[in-house]
A and B are shown apart, each in its own frame.
Chain A
Amino acid sequence: MQTIAYLIPPNSHFLKTLTNYLLHNLNLEDPESSNTYIVFPTKRASLFLKYYLLFKKKAKAFFLPKIFSWEDFLLELYIHLVDKPKILLPESAKTMVFLQAVPWLNKLWKEPEKLLHWSSLFLEVFEEFEKEGRIPENLLYPPEELPDQAKEVFEDLKNTYQAYKSYQSMGNFTFLSEIYSELNAYLQKETPTPTFIKGLYLAGFVALREVEKKILSYLIEKLQSLSIPIYFFFESFDPPPRLIGETIAKLELIPKIIPSDFLEREKLEPKIHLISFPDTESQIQKIESLLSESTLNSPDEIAIILPQPTTLLPLLFRLQNFNFPINITLPFPSRILPLSKWIILILKAQRERKNNSYPTSLFKKIFTFPLLKALFRQKGTMKDLMEKVRLVLSKKRSLYITKEEILKELENHYHPHFSTLYEILFQNWETIDSPKEIYQALVSLLEFLKPLLKDNKENEELNSLLTVQYVREIEQRILPLFKISYLWENFPENHRNLLISFLENLLLTLELPLYGDPLSGLQILGFLESRLLSFKRIFLLDVNEGALPPPNTLNPLLTDEMKTYLNLPIYRNELWDYYFDRLLNSAEEIFLFYIHTEKGKSDLLGEPSRYIQKLKWLSEIEKKHLKEEAFKLQIYNPQEIEAIPKTDKDVEALYKIATERGLSRNALETYLTCPGKFYFQYLLNLKPQEELLTEEKEIGIFLHQFFQSFFEPYLGKTLRFKESLENIPWKEHFDQLWKSFNFEEKIDPLSAYLGYKIALAGVNKYFQYLLNLEKENEGADYILETQILAIEKRLEISAECPIPPIKEVKFYGIVDLVVKRVSNHGKQTILIKDFKTKPSTNTAPSVLKNSLSASLPQTLDQEALSKVASLFGSNLCNFQLLFYLYLLLKNKTLFPIETQPNRTFYNALYVTPTDFEEPEKELIRNPKIYPQVINFLERNFQEYLFWILRHILEAREFYLNKEKKVCNYCQYEPICKIYRRKERALWERN
């Protein structure tokens, strides 16, 4: 008696038709029906069948047959038929077993990445053989292009395979993917009878590998001999496609079309929409608009099928606007999850560690990772500690950092907390020498993160849901590997790098097997997960070459040529062609989305899938109309807001700043440059994005400190550079200070060398300049002596404020150096010196002259502010020196003069040592305008300051300076960009 294979057309609703058949042929009121097995290739199909059985069976109570996926059914067979089942290990343990068996373990173990890479490739070769139920044979002449080690393994392939299996056998374990071959071998040997099966219905299979055919043939034979019903159901039109036809022939089945009484629906011509998109985001946008017109009364109404799992996250982001439940069933790449990224960073730090020190940037990334911040969100010691460490790391600026260096900068009461964190994130991983230690380090890390892992409740945030799933997978599939000592027996000692590489490899390749349960709502599926399912409406995204059909995974050991040598079957894309065709026919309406971009020099190519081309070609041949459209991208260029509106709260805060803190030079300059920046920095107190200090800036800071420390011993004293420079070993001091800056750790050696030379030359040149000032010159002025009056001095003035209700306002600033130069003619000049890094920094004497007679605007708008700012030169080059000079003049008593006032002059200058030609740039260069400038500073400048203050307090908005040259160097540029648009969106909603 031969077994029947029923053909069910895809457009008749495969599963419902099958359900109709089963309800007719099975007596579900009889408990014996619970020993009937219905087996599908996928878990999802089995879940849907159960759903349809419950839906269609109109009875008060009934039994259910056992509905399994093929994988679960094999496991069931294995458990029932095999007397002594083996231990089932996670798939990832295969690598360790393989490595125990290969001859080149000792040669390659120092290059763990290579080891792991090649072992995974060879394991695929073994898997191919097992699927064919064969033992690999040695390859006499492996291809020349393979590396020597790979050739070695191929020449000895059979022995390697047998060693691999023997090692497995000794450990008495197996893998899910090898259950086929285990079961097959057992059935051929022991021929047990599957008496627990009282009926077997195999539905939805397509192509069979040799070993699957053997198992099924065995079952057919045994069940037929016991007169137990066994049937096959194929989702296919008549005649069936080649692959199904081959399967039917291999199993010696009799194909029959399913009786029409069982068909769920009349053959349906699906409505196909073909839509091209410029990118993924627009695909999702279209789905959103189409879903908004939909209702969801059952889980087989709408499905979104994602050949590319990474499209899941942007899709879910949009689906937040909908209330219906969502089932997600696809393998999700865990490497994009924050926790995965963090653990990978921790492992990377171990690889890049040098003795006890870690690359500072990496250390910082780990310590400031958002997960850690989330853990210590609440106010307290840990939160403070995180901030302290962040500051220390920003300050340090060395290329490498140690625990001790950080501890040195922290107060004692932070030490135990920091040490605990350090232990979990770094120390535990430093001392790894065995799998047990990796296990413990990973468990400690996960235990530490426990507060972030909530229980899985309804409506839980997606990120935490996925994170919990991820930890679950680590618990179940990764941690056990490091506890099974048998897997690590033959490894050389001290295989630390291999352990870390192995763990990293496991984490990077870990996929979360998301499975929607309970069945409800919108179905989001991977392409393979959609097999056998029928929906009213399907959205199939990314129908592009490279996604559908997916590219063949590159295994250089399994090229078509290699498969020919090894006598393995070569499969083209027939299977994918079949799956696509059945999907197309299974739905009432299907939307095929594909990305189509124009070819260009640097554009990404979006090539529609061959299936799209085939569809178009077929519709032409059959003269069928295919609905095609291109997604109209609405180019939306949001206007940016001109200014940030000022609220009452802002005004209150501003008055408070003015009254309590006063205005520093920096605050005034910031406001003049961009009130928006002032808002971010002084009102929102946002920390600016941390600058990556350039070499130029590093050297600038060095020079600043050098001159400060050089002049410090002379504070309050007089010096003559000619004598001082001869007597002071300033070069040694320079070298000592340079060493203390640790430039070798911060920048590359060449830059450090050049920086040293430039800085030294700058200092030398500047000293030469100062020496020249003291050079006797007949008839002309020269400096007799210089007195150091102040170093890093804070100057301030509390001025009576004309803006009620503020009574007075403090203006202040810190000047680098105040000196008094005495000339040979008795002229005294009190000079403010400000050290600048950039050699191009300069004052604008012509602007200064014009500004003395300028009038202040009457309005308080953006134009007025720009006008006032322009009075101080481009980049406000005059403002700082004017402001300091103003403060100095208001604090004359701090620097008493001994000669006649009319022989005393005041000025301010920039010191730019790296400008070898003009290291000092004075504010007042023309003696003719000197009285005017001083008069301006003493009488009028304050008015300007209060005008600025009035603008700060009373302007309606915080204007945004959009000049590129200003924004490019602004540390708040990223925040400002978003803020401008976000603000607009908020306004629009209001």
Chain B
Amino acid sequence: MPLNIKIATSPLKLLHQATLSQRLGEILHFCLGFLLSNKKFKFSDSELLSLIEKALVYHPYLLMDREYFFEEVPKFILVLKSSPIWKELEKLLIKADCIYREIEGYYYPKAKLLRADLVAKYKDSLLLFEFKLKEEDLNLEQIELYIAFLKALFPKPALKVYGVFFNPPNLKLIKELNSKEDHANHSLSNTTQLPLFKNFN
């Protein structure tokens, strides 16, 4: 009988298990999340480059592709920054009480570990931001799961879910739940954000 071994792996470049654009997405996630969670709506080029450097510290195996990221990431971030979307984001976030980047949580009914890109907390409302390279990458089932999770914790405040897209740059309100809406009957899929406890059930 073959062994049932569970070992953590990372993608093998040789087998094209993760494309550069997937990696690019991760770096962009970090950079944008960092900027927005720190309300850094104005920043210099060198600050952006330092940010990319920080992101790459998390991914030392991308050493050979550094030049690619230093070329591509600024393109996306600066285009976003110079678009009206940036002003919109500033408007949405500047007065937030707290902003949480990559906040991790557990949703018991689905036994799922979740990690939201950005959550902004106001006194009476919550904003959830999901970053994607392209709009078609958006996973609505995942969004529903986040909504269920946040509503379980904060049933009263209103909740708005935004998608932030890089290519082309766009900010889209995906879902809006007022304070009275009961989310209990929304269907949820079995999407898993993190593989850590796959069979936890």
Give the interface of A toward B (CB within 8 A).
29, 31-32, 34-35, 47, 50-51, 54, 57, 59-64, 66, 75, 78-79, 83-90, 176, 316, 319-328, 446-447, 450, 453, 455-456, 458-462, 465, 468-469, 471-472, 475-476, 479-480, 483-484, 514-521
| Contact, CB under 8 Å: A328 / B1 | no
Taking CB atoms and an 8 Å cut-off, the chain B residues in 1-18 that contact chain A are 1-10, 12-15, 17
**B7: A residues at CB distance < 8 A:** 327-328, 456, 465, 469, 514-517
Partner of B4 from A89, A326, A476 at Cβ < 8 Å: A326
Partner of B197 from A85, A483, A519 at Cβ < 8 Å: A519
B5, B108, B196: residue with the most chain A Cβ atoms closer than 10 Å: B5
* Least distance between B164 CB and chain A CB atoms (Å): 20
**B80: A residues at CB distance < 8 A:** none
**A32: B residues at CB distance < 8 A:** 98
* Least distance between A315 CB and chain B CB atoms (Å): 11
**B195: A residues at CB distance < 8 A:** 517-518
Give the interface of B toward A (CB within 8 A).
1-10, 12-15, 17, 50, 53-54, 56-58, 60-61, 63-64, 66, 98, 100, 103-109, 113, 119, 121, 149-150, 152-153, 195-200
| Contact, CB under 8 Å: B58 / A79 | yes
Report the bound CA distance from A516 to B197 in whole Å. 11
Report the bound CA distance from A460 to B17 in whole Å. 17
12 contacts between A and B (CB under 8 A): A54-B113, A64-B106, A79-B58, A85-B54, A86-B53, A88-B60, A328-B5, A465-B5, A472-B9, A514-B7, A517-B8, A518-B196
Residue of B with least CB distance to A468: B12
Chain A binding surface, main DSSP class = mixed
| Contact, CB under 8 Å: A459 / B107 | no
Partner of A60 from B5, B152, B196, B197 at Cβ < 8 Å: B152
Report the bound CA distance from A228 to B2 in whole Å. 51
Residue of A with least CB distance to B2: A459
Q: A462-B5, A517-B8 are in contact. Are A34 and B103 (CB under 8 A)?
A: yes
| Contact, CB under 8 Å: A62 / B198 | no
Report the bound CA distance from A232 to B8 in whole Å. 29
**A325: B residues at CB distance < 8 A:** 4-6
| Contact, CB under 8 Å: A520 / B199 | yes
| Contact, CB under 8 Å: B60 / A90 | yes
**A75: B residues at CB distance < 8 A:** 57-58
Partner of A521 from B4, B58, B61, B150 at Cβ < 8 Å: B4
6 shortest A-B CB distances, which residue pairs?
Answer: A517-B8, A61-B152, A476-B61, A518-B198, A480-B63, A515-B8
Residue of A with least CB distance to B37: A196
Q: A326-B3, A459-B4, A517-B7 are in contact. Are A31 and B119 (CB under 8 A)?
A: yes
* Least distance between A93 CB and chain B CB atoms (Å): 10
* Least distance between A383 CB and chain B CB atoms (Å): 24
* Least distance between B36 CB and chain A CB atoms (Å): 14
Report the bound CA distance from A447 to B60 in whole Å. 22
Known A-B contacts: A57-B106, A88-B60, A515-B7. Give 20 more (CB < 8 A): A29-B153, A31-B121, A34-B103, A59-B108, A176-B60, A316-B5, A325-B4, A326-B3, A326-B5, A460-B2, A465-B5, A471-B14, A472-B9, A475-B61, A514-B7, A517-B195, A517-B196, A518-B196, A518-B197, A521-B4
**A328: B residues at CB distance < 8 A:** 5, 7
| Contact, CB under 8 Å: B6 / A326 | yes
| Contact, CB under 8 Å: A85 / B57 | yes
Q: A79-B58, A456-B9, A472-B12 are in contact. Are A462 and B152 (CB under 8 A)?
A: no
| Contact, CB under 8 Å: A476 / B60 | yes
Report the bound CA distance from A62 to B114 in whole Å. 10
* Least distance between B61 CB and chain A CB atoms (Å): 4
Residue of B with least CB distance to A450: B14
Report the bound CA distance from A64 to B106 in whole Å. 7
Report the bound CA distance from A446 to B152 in whole Å. 50
| Contact, CB under 8 Å: B199 / A323 | no
Partner of A450 from B15, B53, B64 at Cβ < 8 Å: B15
| Contact, CB under 8 Å: A316 / B3 | yes
| Contact, CB under 8 Å: A61 / B14 | no
**B106: A residues at CB distance < 8 A:** 54, 57, 61-62, 64
| Contact, CB under 8 Å: B6 / A517 | yes
| Contact, CB under 8 Å: B104 / A64 | yes
| Contact, CB under 8 Å: B17 / A455 | yes
Q: A79-B57, A475-B14 are in contact. Are A63 and B2 (CB under 8 A)?
A: no
Report the bound CA distance from A323 to B104 in whole Å. 33
**A471: B residues at CB distance < 8 A:** 12, 14
**A469: B residues at CB distance < 8 A:** 7, 9
Partner of B15 from A90, A453, A459 at Cβ < 8 Å: A453
* Least distance between A155 CB and chain B CB atoms (Å): 35
Q: A60-B152, A320-B2, A479-B64 are in contact. Are A88 and B57 (CB under 8 A)?
A: yes
| Contact, CB under 8 Å: A31 / B5 | no
| Contact, CB under 8 Å: A34 / B104 | yes
| Contact, CB under 8 Å: B14 / A447 | yes
**A483: B residues at CB distance < 8 A:** 63-64
**B17: A residues at CB distance < 8 A:** 455
Residue of A with least CB distance to B54: A79
Q: A63-B105, A471-B12 are in contact. Are A520 and B153 (CB under 8 A)?
A: no
**B56: A residues at CB distance < 8 A:** 87-88
Q: A83-B50, A84-B53 are in contact. Are A323 and B60 (CB under 8 A)?
A: no
Report the bound CA distance from A328 to B121 in whole Å. 41
**B108: A residues at CB distance < 8 A:** 59-61
* Least distance between B63 CB and chain A CB atoms (Å): 4
Partner of A458 from B4, B121, B150 at Cβ < 8 Å: B4
**A519: B residues at CB distance < 8 A:** 196-197
**A326: B residues at CB distance < 8 A:** 3-6
* Least distance between B26 CB and chain A CB atoms (Å): 14
Report the bound CA distance from A926 to B127 in whole Å. 114
Q: A85-B57, A88-B60 are in contact. Are A320 and B104 (CB under 8 A)?
A: no
**B3: A residues at CB distance < 8 A:** 316, 319-320, 326, 459, 462
| Contact, CB under 8 Å: A54 / B1 | no
Report the bound CA distance from A47 to B194 in whole Å. 13
| Contact, CB under 8 Å: A62 / B64 | no
Residue of A with least CB distance to B198: A518
**A476: B residues at CB distance < 8 A:** 10, 60-61
| Contact, CB under 8 Å: B105 / A446 | no
B61, B63, B103, B153: residue with the most chain A Cβ atoms closer than 10 Å: B63
Report the bound CA distance from A319 to B5 in whole Å. 11
**A456: B residues at CB distance < 8 A:** 7, 9
Residue of A with least CB distance to B8: A517
| Contact, CB under 8 Å: B5 / A50 | no
* Least distance between B24 CB and chain A CB atoms (Å): 18
Partner of B6 from A31, A323, A327 at Cβ < 8 Å: A327
**A47: B residues at CB distance < 8 A:** 196
Residue of B with least CB distance to A82: B54
**A34: B residues at CB distance < 8 A:** 100, 103-105
**A521: B residues at CB distance < 8 A:** 4, 6
**B200: A residues at CB distance < 8 A:** 51, 54, 518
| Contact, CB under 8 Å: A516 / B15 | no
B8, B13, B54: residue with the most chain A Cβ atoms closer than 10 Å: B8
Report the bound CA distance from A690 to B109 in whole Å. 65
**A520: B residues at CB distance < 8 A:** 6, 198-199
Report the bound CA distance from A323 to B9 in whole Å. 22
Residue of B with least CB distance to A83: B50
Report the bound CA distance from A519 to B195 in whole Å. 9
* Least distance between A284 CB and chain B CB atoms (Å): 14
| Contact, CB under 8 Å: A62 / B105 | yes
* Least distance between A603 CB and chain B CB atoms (Å): 33
Q: A61-B149, A517-B195, A520-B6 are in contact. Are A87 and B53 (CB under 8 A)?
A: yes
| Contact, CB under 8 Å: B66 / A87 | yes
* Least distance between B37 CB and chain A CB atoms (Å): 9
**A61: B residues at CB distance < 8 A:** 105-108, 149-150, 152-153
Report the bound CA distance from A472 to B8 in whole Å. 12
| Contact, CB under 8 Å: B58 / A89 | no
